[in-house]
Amino acid sequence: MNMDLSRRSFLKLAGAGVAATSLGAMGFSEAEAAEVAHVRAFKLATTTETRQTCPYCSVACGIIIYSKGDVRKGDKAEVVHIEGDVDHPTNRGTLCPKGAALKDFVKSPTRLLYPMHRKPGSDKFERMSWDEALDRIARLMKDDRDANLLLKNEKGLDVNRWTTTGMLAASATSNETAWATFKFAKSIGIVGFDNQARV
């Protein structure tokens, strides 16, 4: 990708700060420096960058997630900012109103945190442990499959078709997750299996 170097050099002249003289050298004491401090401190300093892809539409803009903490080093990492990736050929750093606000999708107050369970007829969700939820789901599914899997059609042909449980897959999951999901759904015989491409 072409980097417009003349533009970069102008930015330096126009106030870019790589080689900026420190305030101390300007003759301000610490206290004075605080008083005359002008522009906000650059908030991405000392954050961790991660190359990512916007999860919304299929333009698949390159984004950079800036986080406090680095998951690769085993830290607990928290997103502090998200911005377009200038190196990306499609979006070249730009983002739409959704992509530009991705941080608040990741940090939405309505993110789900725990497995929840609603009993038949109940008017509320109640917390459930993962183990309890997964065991119960597996049991419900197996019981339904055992009861309703159509092994053979009238002609005696193996059809291995399970129509009484269906699944919708998410067209926002990764290819790898999708492949795992595909293996799961098709191997247990689910035929009512679609993703958003259907609608």
Partner 1 sequence: MANTMDSPRTAVSNPPVQPMETNLTQRDLIRRSATSELPQPERQLTPVAKLIDVSKCIGCKACQSACVEWNDTNPAVGENVGVYENPHDLTADMFTLMRFTEWVNPETDNLEWLIRKDGCMHCADPGCLKACPAPGAIVQYSNGIVDFIHDNCIGCGYCVKGCPFNIPRISKADHRAYKCTLCSDRVAVGQGPACAKACPTQAIVFGTKEDMKKHAEGRIADLKSRGYANAGLYDPPGVGGTHVMYVLHHNDKPQIYADLPVDPKISAVVQTWKGATKYAGLAVMSLAAAGTILHGLFAKANRVSKHEEEEAKELVDESVEHAEKREEDA
Partner 2 sequence: MTNAWTDIKNTDLVVVMGGNAAEAHPCGFKWVTEAKAHRGAKLIVVDPRYTRTASVSDFYAPIRQGSDIAFLNGVMKYCIDNGRVQWDYMKAFTNASYIVKDGFGYKDGLFTGYNEEKRDYDRSTWDYVIGEDGFAVTDPTLEHPRCVWNLLKEHLAPYTPELVEQVCGTPKDKFLKVAEMISECSTPTKTMTSMYALGWTQHSKGSQNIRAMAMLQLILGNIGVRGGGMNALRGHSNIQGLTDLGLMSHLLTGYLTMPSEKDTDFETYMSTRQFKPLRPGQTSYWQNYRKFMVSFQKAMWGDAATAENGWAFNYLPKLDVPAYDVLRMFELMNNGKVNGYICQGFNPILAFPNRTKVTSSLSKLKFMVTMDPLETETARFWENHGDFNDVDTASIQTEVFQLPSTCFAEEDGSLTNSGRWLQWHWQASSPPGEAKHDSWIVAQIFLRMRALYAKEGGAFPDPILNLSWEYEDENEPTAEELAKEINGRALSDVMDPTDPTKVLVAAGKQVVNFSQLKDDGSTMSGCWIYSGCWNEQGNNMGRRDNHDPDETGAYLGWTFAWPLNRRTLYNRASADINGKPWDPTRKLLEWDGAKWTGYDVPDIAPTAKPQDVGPFIMNQEGVSRLFVRGMMRDGPFPAHMEPFESPVENVFNRKMRGNPVARVFASDAAQLGTSAEFPYAATSYRLTEHFHYWTKHNRVNSALQPEFFVEISEELAAEKNIAHGGWVRVWSKRGSVKAKAVVTKRIRPLICDGKPVHIVGIPLHWGFTGSAKKGFGPNSLAAFVGDANIETPESKAFLVNIEPSTAPKDKEVNV
Residue 176 CB, nearest approach to partner 2 (Å): 4
Residue 25's binding partner among partner 1, partner 2, none (Cβ under 5 to 8 angstroms by kind) is none
Tell me which residues in 26-45 interact with partner 2 (CB under 8 A).
none
CA distances, 94 to each of 54, 62, 67, 90, 128 (Å): 11, 9, 19, 9, 42
d(CA 96, CA 107): 18
- Return the structure tokens found at 23: 């305030």
Cβ(73)–Cβ(59) below 8 Å: no
The H or E element that residue 51 is part of is: strand 48-53
**28 vs 181, beta carbon nearer partner 2:** 181
Tell me which residues in 128-167 interact with partner 2 (CB under 8 A).
128, 130, 133-142, 144-149, 151, 153, 155, 157-167
Interface with partner 2, residue 15, by CB under 8 A:
no
Q: Pick from 35, 55, 73, 83: which binds partner 2 (CB under 8 A)?
A: 55
Judging by beta carbons within 10 Å of its beta carbon (0-12, 13-18, 19+), is residue 150 exposed, middle or buried? middle
Residue 82 CB, nearest approach to partner 2 (Å): 8
| Identity of the residue numbered 181 | T
**51 vs 136, beta carbon nearer partner 1:** 51
Residue 183 CB, nearest approach to partner 2 (Å): 6
- Return the structure tokens found at 177: 């997750």
Interface with partner 2, residue 10, by CB under 8 A:
no
Interface with partner 2, residue 118, by CB under 8 A:
yes
CB neighbours of residue 91 within 10 Å? 18
Residue 198's binding partner among partner 2, partner 1, none (Cβ under 5 to 8 angstroms by kind) is partner 2
